Amino acid sequence: MNTYRIAVIPGDGIGVDTIDEAQQALQTICQVHGGLSMTFERYPWGCQYYLREGRMMPEDGLRILADYDAILFGAVGFPPVPDHVSLWGLLLPIRQAFDQYINLRPVKLLPGIPGPLRNKGPEDIDFICIRENTEGEYGGVGGRVHRHSDNEVAVQTSVFTRRGVERVLRYGFELARKRPRRELVSATKSNALQYTMVFWDEVFRELAAEYPDVSCRQYHVDALAARFITAPESLDVVVASNLFGDILTDLGGALQGSLGIPPSGNINPERRYPSLFEPVHGSAPDIAGKGIANPIAAIWAASMMLDHLGHEDAGRLLWEAIAAMTRTGAVLTPDLGGSATTKEVGAAIREQIIALAG
């Protein structure tokens, strides 16, 4: 029996509703699998915690998390805590401290979900984005001076290190090499960003020479955004800096029919630290507590967690259960035009797990 310790941080808003369904889906997977068991410990960190304690997680939060095999995370951010305070108090420190430098974000239209593009179905929208996750525009370097005066200045510096750029691009080449199409696209903006992105492009070209079997292209990020819409079928693996990857993958979520669908894995490939799995979506305060948030992204993130833990069979089963459920089109939350609740969708996916495993 393989036993894993999972830290669960539901966080804020709809993160709480959706992560419960992800945890239950994992419990059902363990029941039907037979050789897999998980213990879950919940940490109620987030904006409510901040309002009580003055910080988003305890001082020794990272030390506590370091002992787990993986982290299941909901969402972060809720008024009245400013978004930059909540994000920099919880999620970004985890990504950086645990060197989760790969943020894997599949863009795949599920069967039965009407995507927003005319004449583009699941066979056209099926690629994966790799977002650099520890530096770049999210380096956290900058400052403000002369506050509240006419001379006020704000500076935010992007940080691109050779180690950081090379390792994320190399991950992209390696991932592309494992896929049948072997195609890698890099998002750049080197016409305008003459230091950071010219450097990014140089490293991309250097690595391309090591991977002659991978066909590679680069697009300015604005043109790539357009390509997401006009020719998604031309994409296989996309690699991007932290901010570009963040923006592109929200577009990817829209291509999947709803931001309630895309998952993400914040990965430390060397496995020195636990990796973190979360829906791409945020806390959605407007629908928090209404019980109508789509749990698919969180459950799909749990499937990515199973893959990462080395149980691709179980990860595949969970993904197939999600796809079988959407294929029926019968149980969908309002973001997808249905009227089902979060719990009803979660229960329908668990039924599919049992049916597929039986």
Nearer to ligand GGG, 75 or 299 (CB): 75
Q: From CA 133, how far away is CA 303, in angstroms rounded?
A: 20
CB 46 within 8 A of CB 86: yes
Find the shortest distance in angstroms from Cβ 294 to ligand GGG: 13
Q: Tokens 């915690």, residue?
A: 49
Q: Pick the piece of the chain touching ligand GGG (CB under 6 A) from 23-31, 72-80, 182-190, 287-295.
A: 72-80
Find the shortest distance in angstroms from Cβ 279 to ligand GGG: 5
Q: Tokens 């973001």, residue?
A: 335
Find the shortest distance in angstroms from Cβ 214 to ligand GGG: 27
To the nearest 10°, the Cα dihedral for 203, 204, 208, 209? -20
Nearer to ligand GGG, 22 or 321 (CB): 22
What mask of x and - would describe binding to ligand GGG in positions 213 to 252, judged by CB under 6 A?
---------------------------------x------
The residues in 260-289 that bind ligand GGG, with binding defined as CB under 6 A, are 278-279, 281-283
Find the shortest distance in angstroms from Cβ 244 to ligand GGG: 11
Q: Which residues, other chains included, contact 111 with Cβ-Cβ below 8 Å and sequence gap of 6+? A: 122, 323, 326, 327
The span from the first CA to the last CA of the chain, in angstroms, equals 20
Nearer to ligand GGG, 253 or 279 (CB): 279
From candidates 9, 76, 207, 332, binder to ligand GGG by CB under 6 A: 76
Cα 273 from chain centroid? 17
* Spatial CA neighbour of 96 closest among 37, 54, 139: 139
What mask of x and - would describe binding to ligand GGG in positions 122 to 161, judged by CB under 6 A?
----------------------------------------
Single-letter residue type at 351: E
Q: Which residues, other chains included, contact 281 with Cβ-Cβ below 8 Å and sequence gap of 6+? A: 14, 75, 253, 259, 260, 262, 297
Find the shortest distance in angstroms from Cβ 167 to ligand GGG: 19
The residues in 87-106 that bind ligand GGG, with binding defined as CB under 6 A, are 87
The residues in 288-347 that bind ligand GGG, with binding defined as CB under 6 A, are none
Residues touching ligand GGG, count (CB under 6 A)? 10
Determine if 75 is a binding residue for ligand GGG (CB under 6 A): yes
Q: From CA 125, how far away is CA 291, in angstroms rounded?
A: 29
Find the shortest distance in angstroms from Cβ 147 to ligand GGG: 25
Q: Tokens 């951010």, residue?
A: 77
Q: Pick the piece of the chain touching ligand GGG (CB under 6 A) from 75-83, 122-130, 171-179, 221-229.
A: 75-83
Nearer to ligand GGG, 87 or 356 (CB): 87
Beta strands in the chain (DSSP E): 2-11, 36-42, 70-75, 102-108, 126-132, 136-145, 153-159, 183-188, 215-220, 237-240, 263-267, 275-279
* Spatial CA neighbour of 104 closest among 175, 186, 194: 175
Which residues here bind ligand GGG, judged by CB under 6 A?
75-77, 87, 246, 278-279, 281-283
